Structure 1
């Protein structure tokens, strides 16, 4: 099963590559990203890029600060995976 964004961005706000991720991060975080990417073994690089892409997406999201505060406060709304699966089944969508 793949998750799709609720509000997709066309084109994506942050390109899914090292250059795009670095451009979206502030100075100190950009250096942290490069240090982690350069220290990663080849088989770990994809995971580093994926994690930092998520960080860059949140950093550039206009609602990012609100979402971060809600997550830290424990007030961010969540949905159980079982509920999502049931919604997809009810809509006739695949759940594998």
Structure 2
């Protein structure tokens, strides 16, 4: 799986603020209730950060117009991926330029 952002600000894609309010606007129905249930049970600190990080990722996918194609590619094993070594190499190359 890629560690790089697939869609960022300015890409024309929806952007979900990494806040409780921003994340809570993305899921609908029972998924929103599940988000709030996990949020309310998590103590402040790493566990709360983990809940927000996991749900922010889900919110970004839920609001992405390509979500069905991305999910199908992931399930089929055809989603393009990269390694951390490749990412580090590309960053070094950009820094040298």
Measured against the shorter chain, the TM-score band is: 0.7 to 0.9
2:26 & 2:91 partners in 1: Cα distance? 33
Which runs of 5 or more residues in structure 1 are unaligned? none
Partner of 2:8: 8
Which runs of 5 or more residues in structure 2 are unaligned? none
Give 3-state SS (helix, strand or coil) of 1:92's partner.
helix
Higher relative contact order (CA 8 A, sep 6+): 2
Q: How big is the alpha-carbon RMSD for the aligned residues of Structure 1 and Structure 2?
A: 2.0
Using structure 1 for the length normalisation, give the TM-score. Answer: 0.82
Deviation at 1:79, TM superposition (A): 0.8
Aligned length: 91
Tell me which stretches of 4 or more aligned residues in structure 1 moved more than 2 Å: 3-7
Give 3-state SS (helix, strand or coil) of 2:25's partner.
helix
Q: Would the aligned equivalents of 2:26 and 2:62 in 1 still touch at CA under 8 Å? A: yes
Deviation at 1:17, TM superposition (A): 1.3
For the pair 1:69 / 2:72, whether they are aligned, the reply is yes
Using structure 2 for the length normalisation, give the TM-score. Answer: 0.81
Q: Would the aligned equivalents of 2:8 and 2:15 in 1 still touch at CA under 8 Å? A: no
> Which of these residues, 36, 39, 51, is aligned with residue 37 of structure 1?
39
Deviation at 1:6, TM superposition (A): 4.6
